[in-house]
Structure 1
Amino acid sequence: MASLNPLNTNLDLRKAKHLLRRATFNYTKEQLDTFIGMSATDAVNRLTNNAPYIVTEPYDPLPTSAPDGFWTSSTEHPNTFDGQGRKRSHITAWWWHNALNQVSLKYKLSFFLHTSFTVAKDNGVGLSPFFFDHLRLLDFYALGNIKTLAKKITLDNGMLDYLDNTQNNKNNPNENYAREYLELFTILKGEQIGEGNYTNYTEVDIQQAAKVFSGFKKQWDRNGDIDPDTNLPMGYINVGQHDTNDKTFSSAFNNHVITGRDTAETIFDELDDFVEMVFNQPETAKSYCRKLYRYFVKSEISSVAETDIIEPLSQIMINNDYEILPVITTLLSSEHFYDADDSDSSDNIIGAIIKSPLQLLSEVISIFNVTYPNPETEQLYFFRNFFQWYIHGSYFKASGMPFFDPDSVAGYPAYYQEPGFDRNWFSSNTIIGRYELIQDLLTKNNIYTDLDTVLFVENKIDPDAAKDPNTLVSGIADLLFPESIDTDRINYFKTFLIEDSNDYYWTGAWLQYINTHSENDKNTVKTRLDALISALVNAAEFQLM
């Protein structure tokens, strides 16, 4: 039996690692020390803070002679600025820096919403300010209400462009957005039971939905309509291009009729009626709960998990009118999440997900306290050299995760494509990109980072224990890996410290450095620690969470 009952023991190191990895992009020893000993409920509640942005907006340091600077807050028309692709990469840099430096569920849930309401930043979302508004919309509702977001997203300028709804008119309907809204964003397809009938909706429902969405247009200058709830620019309604007739849906929606409207104000009511109709279907809540389960728990949903986890979670979602937090706090506080509801060793949850390239990057940067250029004082080095050229243009591309730019509206295959799911992150094309990350951070000068493995050991591992290569390897592995490692694995990793020598080789070198702190002695131990850390990060155990 799978159980949503709250975990009845406090978090130990193993469970704290599990929660911190799954719920945040900030993974540090200091945070682990904070969460160890807390109840699961208290720990999760601590993560639900909605802190303001650390860096409020992105910055374009180019052209160097007269930087476009904070162009997203400019009153100029969005098409005034050149380098829109570069600027969109700077927006992802801005988002990632905020996500990395806050210990909050907000950004994990924001990225979850990106996988649920997908746009591709370089393939149809339009000019960079619209992408910036789109990410802020996801952030705004990350700890809020999915149903409300499902209404707001329709007037999001980036989404209006990405799925062509700005071209959807009463006399020339475009069904692209309506189709994806049902198939991918909300209720999802069920089993096809007939021609044009997908159980949860039909082709007729797509046609009727397109009529509901007709006349919703992109606001090109961002200076027009502002959403009163989010304070973000939004699209507008062209009343003359909206289908004002009644919309009759299929038996999948109990032949529901939405009354057509003919004023801007009442057409919003028509949209509300449609969204309420879709979200009144129990299958819509189940679709989101299955997505949340695959994102936070594991890819495979057993029949037991479907009955004992998905169904009660979906009822919690319905009972709370699609507020996210009651669902996610229940899930992340549960016995099931911590694998404490059964003794089946073949059905583990801890260590059951392959890290995305985003998670891998964020963990390496945070656990090793890798320094990188400050986005507020070293904009050129942060936005261009470190992020655009290396992280965005090299690492993410090589590791198979075009950042906020999936190949299709379905999103990243790791989150939806059966049977592989997260195993899609690993392939012969992406493994080298993942494995080169740690080496690049240790050796590349042109990305302006500093990963000091000696300082890491001094600050994060008991200094006395560090002189013994066995306890040193074990101590670092306990921080990095989901589970403890056995003697054979310790002996394997130890070879990177002692090579063909005995343990006293490392002990002598470490004590020599501790006694002198000379540059030569530091270089001696650093060479060995760099090799050890590289091996640990690229080990199979660290690829899992």
Structure 2
Amino acid sequence: MSSLTPLTSVLGKTRAKHLLKRATYCVTKSRLEEFSAYTVDQAVAKLLEPNVKKLSQPINYETGNPWIENDPILGVVDPSFSTQKLIEGTYAWWLDEAKNDKSLRSRMTYFLFSFLSIDTVSLRGKRGFFYDYLRLLEMYTLGSFKDLMFQVSINNLMLSYLDNGFNTAVNPNENYAREVLELFTIGKGPSTGVGDYTHYTEEDIVQAARLLTGWRIGKDRVTNHGGDNGGIPTGYPLVNRHDFGEKVFSERFGNRVISAYDSSNKTESQKIERMKTELVEFFDMIFDQEATAKYVCRRMYRYFVSANITKEVENDIIAPLSDTFRINYSFEEIIIQLLKSEHFYDEDDHVRGDEIIGGMIKSPLELMLQTLTITNYPVPDAIEESKNHYLFFYRREMVRDFLELSGQKPFDPPSVAGFPAIYEAPLYDKFWFNPATIISRYNLGALLLNKNATKVDFKVTTFVEKNVSVPFSVDVLITELIELFFSKPVSEERTMYFSNEILLDNGTLTPSMWTNEWSNYRSTGNNIGTEAALVPLFKALIWSQEFQTN
């Protein structure tokens, strides 16, 4: 029976790896050892601690100046910018900060992005919109989803992306209203008739579009109508473009009525407040529906736990999780409940750890960032080696030559629904593996070892020396690397494969020869022999099915 009952024992190595790999991008040997000794309460509390960024924003690698706003440390904003470079610089900035984030915030931010998708095509000529959107999502990773939907609705990037910045009373645009209902909150549900989708109707979209009229894109990023939203710029209301008439929703929402507002003889500030009030009432109406909480909890479950939602999981996990969510729509409450549960660690049935741990294919983003952190890969410093950091390592190698070729340009999904692996049944995460992407995924190890491309001279010998207790012993070397890289123990047959077929190259080396090769490296500093044996092992570990899954 699936259970949200909290796990009571110390995590241990396998469960610690599972938690860190599912909840963060930062998975290192020292963190695995630290979390192995924690109870689940201690571990989740650690993941909830605030994350301190290395850099507050992306910088122009050509000048070293900040690209978005003046900064007391980085200096005065660079007034000249190439939009494309700014987008790519923001990619690099976010990826590097996510790599170093020891909390669950970056992983939650990307969950929200995968849920409330945009693409950077909407950014052309608009400085800082993408940065603002990422900051907004991060701010609400542990906050109220209902409050976030209000903020997203007046966010400049979303106003641009789904055309609500052009939605007026005389020319209503339904794009954003449709996606709010279909993708962002309550979900479509099975069709029960013409224009009726179980949870809402086509007429509800019409009424929602009327309610959302009048908001405009604040291209100069100086307006803020978001209240206590951390000072993130928003769009602005044009009261003469808003429809203040009565909005009557269908029986799917209990025939909810948002009353007409007599705007005559009202000040502009009063009209603006009415526009905001209508927006609040609209989301109150949506979030009052039980289906909304369940839809959100299913999305979170598939992101953090498993694509497979059985009837048992629906009844025993999704339903009680959604009950928690409906109390105040807090992401913090449900992510704590989920990550502490016996079910998350696959400890709630008679065969423990057989389905959930190691049961999801890593997204390219997870694969890349977790490989960088597990190997403690020396990414060029963002300030001291700006060009290598932004241009060569992240823009060209990690984004262009890995993430894009693997099917996940991270902030440009193929549609407003996001990446198919996030939402599309029945394959879900299996979408990440296909004939067009598999070669790129398998080539990640080789890519990281190409110093001409990455501008990083990464030596596997050095990595092994720092992470294996007795590197001259074949048995210890293979055992400890498997324990570090893989989510759960493997069979003796797989261990022997990495040992005999890969490291020892089917008898080309013997264990004693390996010991001598390592001794030679330690005495002379010459790593040619050790690298020759370890590079194939490094690549094989990364392309193995055990490492390609979490």
- Give TM class, smaller chain: over 0.9
How far apart are residue 50 of structure 1 and its match?
2.2
Question: 2:491: which partner in 1?
Answer: 486
Q: In 2, are the aligned partners of 1:79 and 1:127 still within 8 Å (CA)?
A: no
Change (3 A) 1:467 1:71: closer
Question: 1:139: which partner in 2?
Answer: 138
Question: 2:34: which partner in 1?
Answer: 34
Query: Could you tell me which amino acid in structure 1 is paired with residue 68 of structure 2?
Result: T
When normalised by structure 2's length, the TM-score is 0.94
Query: Could you tell me which amino acid in structure 2 is paired with residue 108 of structure 1?
Result: R
Q: Which moved more, 1:257-266 or 1:293-302?
A: 257-266
Task: Give deviations 1:344-391, integer Å, cap 9, x for gaps.
Answer: 479610011100111001111101111111112222211111111221
Pairing 1:525–2:523 present: no
Question: 1:300: which partner in 2?
Answer: 308
SS of 2:91's equivalent?
helix
How far apart are residue 456 of structure 1 and its match?
1.8
Q: After TM superposition, list the pairs within 5 Å mapping 1:420-435 onto structure 2.
A: 420-435=427-442
Q: In 2, are the aligned partners of 1:260 and 1:270 still within 8 Å (CA)?
A: no
Pairing 1:355–2:383 present: no
Q: Which moved more, 1:219-228 or 1:357-366?
A: 219-228
CA distance in 2, matches of 1:15, 1:51: 23
Question: 1:89: which partner in 2?
Answer: 88
The one of 402, 405, 411 equivalent to 1:404 is 411
Change (3 A) 1:162 1:103: same
Aligned identity (percent) is 38
How far apart are residue 57 of structure 1 and its match?
0.7
CA distance in 1, matches of 2:171, 2:80: 32
The one of 33, 48, 73 equivalent to 2:69 is 73
Q: After TM superposition, list the pairs within 5 Å mapping 1:105-184 onto structure 2.
A: 105-123=104-122, 127-184=126-183
Query: Could you tell me which amino acid in structure 1 is paired with residue 490 of structure 2?
Result: I
Question: 2:275: which partner in 1?
Answer: 267
How far apart are residue 241 of structure 1 and its match?
0.3
Q: After TM superposition, list the pairs within 5 Å mapping 1:9-408 onto structure 2.
A: 9-62=9-62, 67=63, 69-73=65-69, 81-123=80-122, 127-225=126-224, 227-229=226-228, 230-261=230-261, 262=263, 263-319=271-327, 321-344=328-351, 348-408=355-415
How far apart are residue 291 of structure 1 and its match?
0.5
Q: Which moved more, 1:488-497 or 1:146-155?
A: 488-497
Q: Which moved more, 1:524-533 or 1:188-197?
A: 524-533
How far apart are residue 129 of structure 1 and its match?
0.9
CA distance in 2, matches of 1:346, 1:428: 30
CA distance in 1, matches of 2:127, 2:412: 13
SS of 1:512's equivalent?
helix
How far apart are residue 203 of structure 1 and its match?
0.3
Change (3 A) 1:83 1:68: farther
Q: Which moved more, 1:436-445 or 1:207-216?
A: 436-445
CA distance in 2, matches of 1:531, 1:286: 46
Question: 1:469: which partner in 2?
Answer: 474
Question: 1:497: which partner in 2?
Answer: 503
Measured on the aligned residues, the alpha-carbon RMSD in Å equals: 1.8
How far apart are residue 341 of structure 1 and its match?
0.3
Q: In 2, are the aligned partners of 1:498 and 1:505 still within 8 Å (CA)?
A: no
SS of 1:533's equivalent?
helix
CA distance in 2, matches of 1:344, 1:370: 36
Query: Could you tell me which amino acid in structure 1 is paired with residue 515 of structure 2?
Result: T
How far apart are residue 208 of structure 1 and its match?
0.4
How far apart are residue 498 of structure 1 and its match?
1.7
SS of 1:445's equivalent?
helix
How far apart are residue 80 of structure 1 and its match?
7.0
How far apart are residue 482 of structure 1 and its match?
1.3
Q: In 1, are the aligned partners of 2:4 and 2:337 still within 8 Å (CA)?
A: yes
CA distance in 2, matches of 1:450, 1:185: 44
Query: Could you tell me which amino acid in structure 2 is paired with residue 493 of structure 1?
Result: F
CA distance in 1, matches of 2:210, 2:78: 30
Query: Could you tell me which amino acid in structure 1 is paired with residue 137 of structure 2?
Result: L
How far apart are residue 225 of structure 1 and its match?
2.9
Question: 1:3: which partner in 2?
Answer: 3
SS of 2:465's equivalent?
helix
How far apart are residue 204 of structure 1 and its match?
0.5
CA distance in 2, matches of 1:260, 1:26: 51
CA distance in 1, matches of 2:293, 2:22: 22
Which runs of 5 or more residues in structure 2 are unaligned? 72-76, 264-270
Change (3 A) 1:217 1:162: same
Q: How many residues align?
A: 533
How far apart are residue 451 of structure 1 and its match?
2.5
CA distance in 2, matches of 1:79, 1:131: 17
How far apart are residue 226 of structure 1 and its match?
5.8
When normalised by structure 1's length, the TM-score is 0.95
SS of 2:452's equivalent?
coil
CA distance in 1, matches of 2:225, 2:243: 24
